[in-house]
Amino acid sequence: MSAKHLTAHELKGLLTSESAASIDELYTFGQMLLSECLDRSKQLDAKATSLSGYTGVIVALLVTTFASKLVGMRRAELYPLMVAGLCVIGAGGMAVWAIWIRGYQWFSDRDWFAPSVIQSPQRLKQFHVLAMHSYKHQHEAINADKAARLQVAYWLLATCVLMLMAALFAPKIVDISRPLLGHLFYSQ
């Protein structure tokens, strides 16, 4: 754990010396933080779902539009299309990987009822603060992983769009540059 996070041992030490009002505030704040982590996870899942849908549409577009035309294409068109296809498949894979269901810990009956402290409401609340702290960090790590995968997927999708533009405009650029630079790059 990084220096900005408290360990469970450090947190236990802090909680035993705090007043009831402080524990109540920490409990309320912990609920808010955990709720925010879950909301962020839902937002990341929604973005990943949308992105996987977009990539599916682009793959279908590439297959239906260019499958019959591949034989007569020039290299200036073919290579960017191949790179675009690979990028969009990679983006879709990263998006699906981001929404892939992961196992994570959640509040168990032992966390909720905590037999060792159930007789003392204040100690039970302290125990719940510890549990929320642990689960919040776990969800933050999952969300960071999802966000990193989505970032890669967005970069791949942007590369796909650039390659599709290159495939669209490359033949025109080749045709324009052939008379100007033909003696350097093109064999007659």
Separation CA 185–CA 174 (nearest Å): 10
Q: Which helix (H) or strand (E) holds 59?
A: helix 20-66
Predicted structure pTM score = 0.76
> What gap in Å lies between CA 130 and CA 22, rounded to an integer?
14
Please report, for the chain, the start and end positions of each structural domain, with discontinuous segments joined by +. Answer: 19-169
Task: Write out the chain's pLDDT in tens, 188 residues.
Answer: 456 777 777 777 777 766 778 888 888 998 999 999 999 999 999 999 999 999 999 999 988 887 777 777 777 778 888 999 999 999 999 999 999 987 777 777 777 777 777 788 888 888 888 888 888 888 999 999 999 999 999 999 999 999 988 888 877 766 666 666 555 555 54
Cα radius of gyration rounded to whole Å, the chain: 27
| Whole-angstrom distance, CA of residue 55 vs CA of residue 168 | 19
